[in-house]
């Protein structure tokens, strides 16, 4: 019975063998099950992203803050568009992303009941816009759950440890689907496809480090800086 209490695979549930979870996390990361409010940590970065300032924001708020161009705590569609352009997406994709993101996530974050036709996203309330069928790496208050990031890759990164191919990533979004959650299914796939296009390596894999850094938004700052430096050299 004591052995069964720590088992991570059930003989009658083959999926638990196919999607394995790690049992060694505490050897590399203190309290991996503890929700981190300020830092996106993992076994390789137990203190979060070096040089990244959290500004007292939750990890989910940090994820969105890059797109707040004027730092007023509100993200309008034009700011979302500018943010996508800054990290390298073309005008058409950036426009589609700006419309889709702000239309979908504005209302839950508004301070009142009345809709705003300008579709602003209020960063203070971004935890209210958390959707279903996700990885649960953010909790319902916007904290970061290291154990869920680690298990995402232990379950689905079959070819190379801590890296997912496109189809492994696709399988991950399929595995996270919640019944009848059409909105969550669609949004999750779009989010991960955007990240894959942005951060895949030369061999076509998405690393755990890239995924971790998208959660705290530091990856957006990184690519915006890289693109800015490239344009300076060209000029």
CA-CA distance, 173 to 191, in Å (whole number)?
10
Give the three-state DSSP class for 19.
Answer: coil
CA-CA distance, 84 to 98, in Å (whole number)?
8
pLDDT of residue 5: 87
CA-CA distance, 216 to 49, in Å (whole number)?
8
pLDDT cut 90: percent of the chain above it: 93
CA-CA distance, 151 to 157, in Å (whole number)?
10
How many of the other CB atoms lie within 10 Å of CB of 227? 14
Q: How many residues does the chain have?
A: 235
Q: Rounded mean pLDDT of 210-226?
A: 97
Q: How confident is the model at residue 4 (pLDDT cuts 50, 70, 90)?
A: confident
* Chain mean pLDDT for the chain: 95
Q: Which residues are registered as beta bridge partners of 13?
A: 10
Q: What does the block give as tokens for 20?
A: 């394995």
Contact of 25 with 154, CB cutoff 8 Å: no
pLDDT of residue 233: 62
**Residues in CB range of 90: below 8 A, 6 or more apart:** none
pLDDT of residue 149: 98
Which pLDDT tens digit goes with each residue over 43-83? 999 999 999 999 999 999 999 999 999 999 999 999 999 99
Q: Among 3-12, 18-27, 113-122, 156-165, whose mean pLDDT is lowest?
A: 3-12
pLDDT of residue 234: 63
The answer, yes or no, to whether residue 219 has pLDDT greater than 90, is: yes
pLDDT of residue 68: 98
Q: Rounded mean pLDDT of 114-135?
A: 98
The answer, yes or no, to whether residue 230 has pLDDT greater than 90, is: no
pTM as predicted: 0.94
Contact of 9 with 17, CB cutoff 8 Å: yes
Which pLDDT tens digit goes with each residue over 145-199? 999 999 999 999 999 999 999 999 999 999 999 999 999 999 999 999 999 999 9
pLDDT cut 70: percent of the chain above it: 96
pLDDT of residue 235: 60
The answer, yes or no, to whether residue 1 has pLDDT greater than 80, is: no
**Residues in CB range of 201: below 8 A, 6 or more apart:** 163, 207
CA-CA distance, 140 to 12, in Å (whole number)?
31
pLDDT of residue 94: 98
Cβ burial, residue 166 (10 Å; 0-12/13-18/19+) = middle
Q: Which residues are registered as beta bridge partners of 206?
A: 164
The answer, yes or no, to whether residue 232 has pLDDT greater than 70, is: no
Q: What does the block give as tokens for 76?
A: 């309008």
Cβ burial, residue 175 (10 Å; 0-12/13-18/19+) = middle
CA-CA distance, 35 to 204, in Å (whole number)?
31
Q: How confident is the model at residue 227 (pLDDT cuts 50, 70, 90)?
A: confident
Q: How confident is the model at residue 3 (pLDDT cuts 50, 70, 90)?
A: confident
Contact of 28 with 154, CB cutoff 8 Å: no
Contact of 38 with 108, CB cutoff 8 Å: no
Give the three-state DSSP class for 51.
Answer: coil
């Amino acid at each position: 019975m004591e052995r069964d209490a720590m088992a991570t695979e059930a003989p009658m549930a083959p999926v638990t063998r196919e999607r394995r979870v790690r049992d060694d996390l505490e050897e590399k990361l203190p309290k991996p099950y503890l929700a981190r409010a300020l830092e996106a940590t993992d076994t390789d970065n137990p203190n979060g992203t070096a040089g990244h300032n959290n500004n007292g924001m939750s990890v989910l708020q940090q994820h969105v803050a890059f797109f707040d161009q004027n730092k007023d705590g509100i993200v309008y569609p034009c700011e979302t568009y500018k943010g996508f352009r800054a990290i390298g997406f073309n005008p058409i994709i950036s426009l589609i992303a700006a419309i889709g993101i702000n239309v979908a996530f504005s209302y839950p974050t508004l301070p009142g009941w009345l809709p705003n036709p300008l579709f602003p996203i209020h960063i203070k309330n971004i935890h209210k816009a958390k959707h279903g069928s996700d990885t649960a790496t953010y909790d319902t208050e916007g904290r970061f759950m290291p154990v869920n990031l680690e298990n995402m890759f232990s379950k689905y990164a079959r070819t190379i440890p801590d890296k997912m191919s496109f189809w492994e990533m696709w399988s991950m979004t399929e595995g996270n689907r919640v019944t009848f959650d059409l909105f969550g299914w669609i949004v999750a796939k779009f989010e991960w496809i955007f990240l894959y296009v942005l951060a895949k390596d030369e061999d076509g894999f998405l690393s755990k480090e890239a995924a971790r850094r998208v959660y705290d938004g530091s990856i957006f700052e990184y690519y915006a800086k890289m693109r800015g430096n490239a344009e300076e050299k060209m000029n």
